[in-house]
Amino acid sequence: MISAPKKTTDTLKRKLNTKRRRPSALPLSTGYTPPIPIYKHQRTAIELAVRKQALGVFDDPGMGKTLQGVLIADCITTAMREAERIFILCKSAHAGVWVQHFADYAPHLRVQSVVGKSADKRKWHRRTNVHIINYELLQRAAGKGAPLTQFPNGTYLRLNEDAARVIRIATKHGPSVMLADESHYFKTPTSNITKFMMAASCAFTRRYIFTGTPVAERPEDVWSQLYVLDQGKTLGRSYAAFKNRYCIMRDTQYGPKVCGHRHKRELHCKLKSVSVRRLKKNCLDLPAKVPKVTNVQRTAEHEGFMRSARDTLLQALHQYKGNTIYTRKGTSVAAALTAYRKVCAMPSTVHPTTVRGSKYHALVDIMQQESAPIVVWCDHVSVVQEVARALTEDGYRVATVYGKIKHKVRDTIVHDFEHGAYDWLIATQSAMREAVTITNSQHAIYFEFSWQLLNWTQSQDRLHRIGQKGTVVINRMFLDGSLDAYMYDVLCEKERSASEINDGKRYPAVLSKQRLLECLAW
């Protein structure tokens, strides 16, 4: 028997996988025919959702979860006729994306968008199939004298008038469906929006939550999200009991803190029983995402500023008690860490100087070698502003996006960048990590790192997603003597820990406090 050459076999397998991953417009098993061709993973999610009363869709960012949500709503209301009202709960920045998706793929549904900090009563219409409501509106504090609202599960909560109206409509107008976008937004049990979601979810006949990062920072993030799904059937109704089971606690000067986790495999199995998660590499034929490292040597004039900030940070660390560092806001360690990171990025953010820093010169060198537009990710607003000011003085066309910029302005800036109006897009990761698509650029530079895993994972997928045509380069800038390498290792450790919960894989722990001191020993 003559076997085919390995190269020919690999080519055939690649062509076969590409054919399997092509979108299709064939009817689903429920009889519903999607309005456009959709991928297999999207068909699977829709079929699972209509069969279950509650489901978490935790696909990788950039895999079309918003489209899945629109088609789930269309299938339940139009084809199956099992619900009269659909409630889309999302952040205010995402409301426009949902409105546009319904207009494009389910124009026969009547959609009402109630977005803002305080809704006008005239915005609420009775003859509406889909209500799009932002989290900021629901978490607004109730006014003085607001009555307690009783939920079907026996919970009492004092709500503002808009949140109370949502519950009233959901319970009095037939079966209703809740689709909660970016469910990691209500991962903290003590926040107002989490309290509302946990109490209000029982008012809906069907409940679906969507996020690409269910474990945004640590495994305990999933408890409140799954509570919204099934009222504590999977992970229990007590957060304290959940932490006793899955968290290792340690007493610190700030009180008991989580210092480790256990039974991760068990937690993964429970999460998998009520959710579905697919990875882009297994479902889509996207161009490759290539990691790249740019090592930057500090200059003599830059080192002077770094040395002063480093000494302040070392003094704060030596006064800190305990082996694990908790960077609480307002503490001397947190302030020293922030100042040192800013000085390493752009000295002019802390000191009145014209020194632009070693990283900036490396950034300009990269731009001179590239002809395509580049996205630069930062973590501090002041760094974004200083980098943009320096690039503008050097004659580049620069756009900036950070938290204080309104969503409509941000969308306009991204649109102009996509159409070649700017050479650089300088942005904070937290302001651009969600509801943004940037496929015109194939090069992302991490000028600064963030401590948050959510910022790291979501910001990469603004470029590497459905619609991207070229290979995406993820360029990490490591400045000699800075905390860049340490912060990247922290992110990798968080990513490995999250993968144990999301994907069921096992990874070793690699970090310690000593690593931070080693980074400062120069």
What do you get for the CA distance between the two ends of the chain, in Å?
64
- What is the pairing mode between strands 247-252 and 472-479? unpaired
Task: Give percent of the chain above pLDDT 70.
Answer: 89
pLDDT over 90 (residue 240): yes
Place of tokens 């610190």: 252
Mean pLDDT throughout 205-222?
92
**Cβ atoms of 446 and 477 closer than 8 Å:** yes
434 and 400, same structural domain? yes
Lowest mean pLDDT among 29-33, 110-114, 288-292, 325-329: 325-329
Is 255 inside a domain boundary?
Answer: no
Cβ-defined contacts of 125-129 (< 8 Å, 24+): 128/85, 129/77, 129/84, 129/85, 129/86
pLDDT at residue 125 in the model? 65
Q: Which of 248, 191, 250, 193 is nearest to 218 (CA)?
A: 248
How far apart CA 491 and CA 474 sit, in angstroms, is: 15
371 and 312, same structural domain? yes
Is 3 inside a domain boundary?
Answer: no
* Encoded amino acid at 202, one letter: C
Domain end (from 217, 248, 283): 283
223 and 110, same structural domain? yes
How many domains is the chain built from? 2
Q: Which residues pair with 149 in a beta bridge?
A: 157
How far apart CA 223 and CA 141 sit, in angstroms, is: 24
368 and 223, same structural domain? no
pLDDT at residue 15 in the model? 45
Domain end (from 283, 303, 321): 283
Q: Which of 241, 94, 447 is nearest to 249 (CA)?
A: 241
- Could you tell me the pLDDT band of residue 48, with boundaries at 50, 70 and 90? very high
Alpha-carbon 473 to chain mean position: 20
- Could you tell me the pLDDT band of residue 7, with boundaries at 50, 70 and 90? very low
Q: Which of 469, 484, 379 is nearest to 432 (CA)?
A: 379
Task: Give percent of the chain above pLDDT 90.
Answer: 55
pLDDT over 90 (residue 238): yes
Instruction: Render pLDDT for 154-188 as a digit per residue (tens, 0 to 9).
Output: 788 888 888 888 888 888 877 899 999 999 999 99
Is 25 inside a domain boundary?
Answer: no
Q: Which letter does DSSP use for residue 75 in this model?
A: I
Q: Which residues pair with 293 in a beta bridge?
A: 476
Mean pLDDT throughout 386-399?
94
296 and 160, same structural domain? no
Measured CA to CA in angstroms, residue 178 lies from 55, 163, 183, 229 at distances of 11, 14, 12, 10
Is 21 inside a domain boundary?
Answer: no
Tell me, letter by letter, the H, E, C secondary structure of 15-66. HHHHHHCCCECCCCCCCCCCCCCECHHHHHHHHHHHHCCEEEECCCCCCCHH
pLDDT at residue 324 in the model? 64
Which CATH number is 70's domain given?
3.40.50.10810
pLDDT over 80 (residue 505): no
Lowest mean pLDDT among 21-35, 143-157, 352-366, 381-395: 143-157
User: Could you list the residue range(s) of the whole structural domain that residue 78 is in?
Assistant: 33-237+271-283
Is 244 inside a domain boundary?
Answer: no
175 and 301, same structural domain? no
216 and 104, same structural domain? yes
296 and 175, same structural domain? no
Is 24 inside a domain boundary?
Answer: no
pLDDT at residue 266 in the model? 93
Domain end (from 252, 283, 314): 283
Q: Does residue 168 or residue 152 have the better pLDDT? A: 168
423 and 367, same structural domain? yes
Round the average pLDDT of the chain to a whole number and report it.
86
pLDDT over 90 (residue 143): no
Instruction: Render pLDDT for 465-497 as a digit per residue (tens, 0 to 9).
Output: 988 999 999 999 999 999 999 899 889 988 888
pLDDT at residue 118 in the model? 62
Three-class SS state of 1 = coil
Q: Is the dihedral of CA 510, 513, 519, 522 positive or negative?
A: negative
306 and 275, same structural domain? no
pLDDT over 60 (residue 352): yes
- Could you tell me the pLDDT band of residue 325, with boundaries at 50, 70 and 90? low
Which residues make Cβ contacts (< 8 Å) with residue 368, sequence separation at least 6?
Answer: none
Tokens at 143, concatenated: 């006014």
Q: Which of 449, 444, 443 is nearest to 482 (CA)?
A: 449
348 and 279, same structural domain? no
309 and 199, same structural domain? no
Cβ-defined contacts of 406-414 (< 8 Å, 24+): 407/92, 407/93, 407/96, 408/96, 410/93, 410/436, 411/96, 414/438
Alpha-carbon 109 to chain mean position: 28
pLDDT over 60 (residue 4): no
Instruction: Render pLDDT for 398-409 as a digit per residue (tens, 0 to 9).
Output: 999 998 888 889
Lowest mean pLDDT among 142-156, 195-209, 235-249, 497-511: 497-511
Is 15 inside a domain boundary?
Answer: no
Q: Which of 212, 214, 294 is nearest to 461 (CA)?
A: 212
pLDDT at residue 140 in the model? 84
pLDDT over 60 (residue 6): no
pLDDT at residue 329 in the model? 65
Is 247 inside a domain boundary?
Answer: no
